């Protein structure tokens, strides 16, 4: 993916760019809002990573200007403020995701990849997801793996749906909390792990090959390793 | 001169003077009219009498009658002249001929001079009527207006006296009112100056009579109370940042130092680095929690509030934690009325519940049991709905109850447990934001913690889902 980092902290930006390149992405860097906006309009990036506070032009205003020119490139906003109302402001301005600073690189990477591979706005959304022999039918609210019908609780269904929507990608615990439970705070107990292990008990137990993998230090990923 | 009290007193003076002047003028005018009418009536009666005398006894009888009448005390004015204008009888020695010539029988006002018998004369104003008899005689009958004049004088004196008293009274009122008002205002101003200089414990003086100044001072005092609380919060946050952040920072620093000094292999370094990363994550968590509490404390109640389906929020949180408790071997029971809508912030209510459940997980194990049993319930009281989370642990000593619901307090017993002592503080802040309070009591066994929310009549379940990314 081609990614633009608009961040005035040169060291943080260099670290970010290095990390993104290591996993095979192309990363450009702009150090202020004005040049960042110019680059974002010139080049077709897959994802923009925008700091909230920037010299010359505020991060939110960069996003607003982009959206005003019908540029729909997904934007991840980074902010040191990290408060509920601040996140709402960012999303209102047109950003697609929000990550408070300081962040873990794995968390940022997972979110950037999720944004970059998101179906384009207005595009067809698949009604069924498939990973290996696991099939989730969103219309019929049913799930099966091979010949076996799997009964899921509503929340388990949404959890699996989100995981399969991002099949092959890493999904962090925070992303799951935000998108499946719609909570934007971190419980101390790792509640997500318990839910994942229950889900795993339903879709992976009694099958020879596991589909739901734990990615150490990052989160979870659903993928068929045989692919 | 520029005070409101002065302006008000002045206005009062002007209006009151104008009103009393108007009243006095009206009364004196009306009185004058009534008295003049009386005079005319008397004159007319006399004229009728004299005419009758003339008809009955001719000029002689008329003259006699007039002489008799003129001699009476408090006599009217009389004059009888012949066709040539020579006076025949009467108590007025002379009259300008023209007055008599132009007589048309109407009442007129004129100055006169009359003899009072002993050779002296008196003059004055009178209302007179002149009429002509057959034979060219003309008769003048009139009455002195002195009485009326005296009456008018009395009125004018009264008016002056009245005006002076009004001005004096207004002056006195202004003096006392402005002194009283100025004293109160100066008191408020002086206190607010000391408050501005930094003494936030001061309060504006309240006289206790419930007047407008008391109400104003009361409101300002409430505001000061809030400001002081926020300032206290700030100080506490700073103090706790000093304590709660410096302790882990110190641990982190020691770890790095030790690694640099003692680590031999790459593996040692790696272990130290990983531990350092964990420490810094812990620091970030404390930071976030502190900031979140401060932000919730400073939030205005309107921000982000809306109708929230409380039953749904409780169910969701319970749904999140049920598997955790079941895996531990404990239980999470929910006893919540359906369709309970409250005014609040979904995210914060959920976080409050999560914090209470987390506390239950840590401290809620009954003696001899391995896993906690937690119960969530709601109780409706008028327009407030209290949400309680109850565990079956050891509870809290009654002596510590007040302390623990305060901010940033960690009981000695809990210091061995993981956590930063900020969970309840956040719940407290959330409860206060929702206009309620956090209350704790021992359920023996166990601790029952609850906070209350304002209910909304409509059972519509509208979730305020901020920033949903769907």
For the stretch B330-372, pLDDT in tens is 888 888 888 788 888 888 889 889 988 888 888 877 766 777 8
Long-range residue pairs from B5-8, CB within 8 A, at least 24 positions apart, any chain: B5/B174, B5/B177, B5/B178, B5/B181, B5/B182, B6/B174, B6/B178, B8/B177
B285 touches A at CB < 8 Å: yes
The dotted CATH code for A128-222 is: 1.10.10.10
B419 touches A at CB < 8 Å: yes
Q: Which residue of A has its CA nearest to B321?
A: A191
In the numeric block, which tokens belong to residue A48?
């923009």
Cβ atoms of residues A47 and A74 within 8 Å: yes
Q: Give start-end residues of each CATH 1.10.10.10 domain in chain A.
A: 128-222
Looking at residue A5, its pLDDT comes to 92
Contact B291 A82 (CB under 8 A): yes
Contact A155 B319 (CB under 8 A): yes
B347 touches A at CB < 8 Å: yes
Does B41 have pLDDT greater than 80?
Answer: yes
Q: Which residue of A has its CA nearest to B469?
A: A179
pLDDT in tens, B301-315: 777 788 888 888 899
SS3 at position B245: helix
Contact B295 A83 (CB under 8 A): yes
Looking at residue B462, its pLDDT comes to 43
Signed CA dihedral, B41, B43, B45, B51: sign only: negative
pLDDT in tens, A154-168: 888 999 999 998 888
Looking at residue A21, its pLDDT comes to 92
Name the region of B401 (left: φ>0; alpha: ψ -120 to 50; beta: rest): alpha
User: Which among A186, A73, A90 has a CA at the least distance from the CA of B467?
Assistant: A90
pLDDT band at B409 (very low <50, low <70, confident <90, very high): low
pLDDT band at B138 (very low <50, low <70, confident <90, very high): confident
Domains and CATH numbers, chain B: 4-150 (3.30.450), 212-298 (1.10.287), 306-455 (3.30.565.10)
User: Which residues, 6 or more positions from B251, have their beta carbon under 8 angstroms from its beta carbon?
Assistant: B279
Minimal C-alpha gap between B284 and chain A (Å): 8
Contact B469 A178 (CB under 8 A): yes
Listing DSSP states for B48-60 in one string gives HHHHHHHHHHHHH
Beta strands in B82-228 (DSSP E): 87-90, 107-115, 121-132, 138-144
Segments in chain A below pLDDT 70:
82-85, 119-124, 226-227
Minimal C-alpha gap between B417 and chain A (Å): 12
Q: Are strands A26-30 and A2-6 parallel, antiparallel or unpaired?
A: parallel
Looking at residue B468, its pLDDT comes to 39
User: Which residues, 6 or more positions from B113, have their beta carbon under 8 angstroms from its beta carbon?
Assistant: B92, B93, B94, B121, B122, B123
Q: How many CB pairs under 8 A join A and B?
A: 67
Contact B321 A191 (CB under 8 A): yes
Does B398 have pLDDT greater than 80?
Answer: no
Does B258 have pLDDT greater than 60?
Answer: yes
pLDDT in tens, B49-86: 888 888 888 888 888 888 888 877 777 888 888 777 77
- Confirm whether the ipTM is greater than 0.90: no
Distance CA B19, CA A16 (A): 85
Q: Give start-end residues of each CATH 3.40.50.2300 domain in chain A.
A: 2-116
Does B469 have pLDDT greater than 50?
Answer: no
Range B239-259 average pLDDT: 81
Across the interface, which of A85, A184, A194 has its CB nearest the CB of B327? A194
A97 touches B at CB < 8 Å: yes
pLDDT, mean over chain B: 79
Burial of B435 (0-12, 13-18, 19+ CB in 10 A): middle
Minimal C-alpha gap between A180 and chain B (Å): 10
| CATH architecture for residues A2-116 | 3-Layer(aba) Sandwich (3.40)
pLDDT, mean over chain A: 86
Does B416 have pLDDT greater than 70?
Answer: no
């Amino acid at each position: 993916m081609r990614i633009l980092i608009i961040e005035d902290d040169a060291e943080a930006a260099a670290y970010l760019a290095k990390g993104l390149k290591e996993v095979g992405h192309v990363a450009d860097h702009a150090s202020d809002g004005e040049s960042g906006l110019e680059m974002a309009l010139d080049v077709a990036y897959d994802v923009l990573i925008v700091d909230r506070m920037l010299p010359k032009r505020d991060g939110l205003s960069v996003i607003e200007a982009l959206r005003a020119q019908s540029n729909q490139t997904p934007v991840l906003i980074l902010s040191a403020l990290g408060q509920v109302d601040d996140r709402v402001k960012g999303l209102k301005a047109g950003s697609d995701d929000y990550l408070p600073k300081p962040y873990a690189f794995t968390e940022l990477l997972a979110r950037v990849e999720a944004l970059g591979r998101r179906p384009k706005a207005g595009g067809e959304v698949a009604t069924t997801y498939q990973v290996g022999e696991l099939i989730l039918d969103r219309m019929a609210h049913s799930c099966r793996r091979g010949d076996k019908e799997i009964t899921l609780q509503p929340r388990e269904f949404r959890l699996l749906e989100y995981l399969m929507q991002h099949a092959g990608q890493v999904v962090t615990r925070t992303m799951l909390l935000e998108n499946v439970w719609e909570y934007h705070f971190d419980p101390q107990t790792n509640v997500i792990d318990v839910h994942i292990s229950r889900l795993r008990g339903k879709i992976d137990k009694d099958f020879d090959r596991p589909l739901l993998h734990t990615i150490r230090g990052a989160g979870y990923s659903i993928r068929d390793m045989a692919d | 001169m520029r005070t409101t009290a002065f302006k008000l007193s002045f206005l009062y003076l002007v209006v009151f003077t104008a009103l009393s002047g108007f009243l006095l003028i009206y009364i004196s005018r009306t009185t004058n009219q009534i008295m003049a009418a009386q005079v005319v009536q008397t004159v007319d009666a006399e004229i009728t009498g004299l005419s009758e005398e003339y008809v009955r006894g001719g000029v002689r009888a008329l003259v006699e009658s007039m002489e008799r009448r003129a001699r009476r005390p408090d006599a009217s004015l009389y004059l009888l002249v012949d066709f040539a204008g020579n006076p025949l009888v009467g108590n007025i020695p002379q009259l300008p001929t023209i007055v008599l010539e132009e007589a048309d029988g109407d009442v007129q006002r004129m100055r006169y001079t009359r003899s009072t018998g002993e050779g002296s004369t008196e003059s004055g104003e009178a209302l007179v009527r002149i009429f002509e008899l057959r034979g060219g005689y003309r008769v003048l009958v009139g009455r002195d207006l002195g009485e009326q004049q005296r009456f008018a004088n009395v009125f004018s004196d009264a008016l002056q006296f009245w005006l002076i008293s009004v001005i004096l009274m207004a002056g006195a009122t202004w003096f006392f009112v402005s002194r009283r008002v100025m004293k109160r205002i100066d008191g408020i101003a002086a206190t607010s100056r000391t408050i501005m200089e930094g003494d936030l414990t001061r309060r504006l003086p309240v006289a206790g009579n419930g007047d407008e100044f008391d109400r104003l001072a009361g409101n300002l005092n409430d505001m000061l109370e809030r400001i002081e609380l926020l300032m206290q919060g700030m100080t506490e946050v700073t103090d706790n940042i000093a304590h709660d952040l410096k302790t882990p920072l110190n641990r982190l620093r020691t770890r790095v130092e030790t690694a640099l000094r003692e680590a031999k292999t790459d593996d040692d370094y790696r272990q130290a680095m990983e531990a350092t990363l964990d420490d810094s994550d812990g620091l970030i968590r404390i930071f976030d929690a502190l900031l979140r509490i401060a932000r919730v404390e400073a939030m205005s109640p309107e921000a982000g509030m809306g109708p929230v389906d409380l039953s749904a929020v409780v169910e969701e949180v319970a749904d999140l934690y049920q598997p955790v408790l079941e895996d531990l071997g404990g239980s999470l029971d929910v006893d919540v009325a359906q369709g309970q809508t409250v005014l609040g912030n979904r995210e914060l209510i959920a976080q409050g519940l999560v914090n209470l459940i987390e506390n239950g997980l840590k401290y809620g194990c009954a003696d001899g049991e391995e896993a906690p049993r937690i119960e969530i319930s709601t109780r409706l009281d008028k327009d407030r709905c209290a949400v309680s989370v109850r565990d079956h642990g050891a509870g809290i000593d009654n002596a510590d109850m007040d302390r623990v619901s305060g901010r940033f307090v960690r009981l000695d017993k809990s210091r061995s447990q993981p956590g930063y002592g900020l969970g309840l503080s956040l719940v407290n802040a959330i409860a206060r934001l929702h206009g309620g309070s956090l209350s704790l009591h021992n359920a023996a066994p166990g601790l029952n913690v609850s906070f209350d929310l304002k209910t909304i009549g409509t059972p519509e379940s509208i979730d305020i889902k901020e920033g949903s990314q769907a």
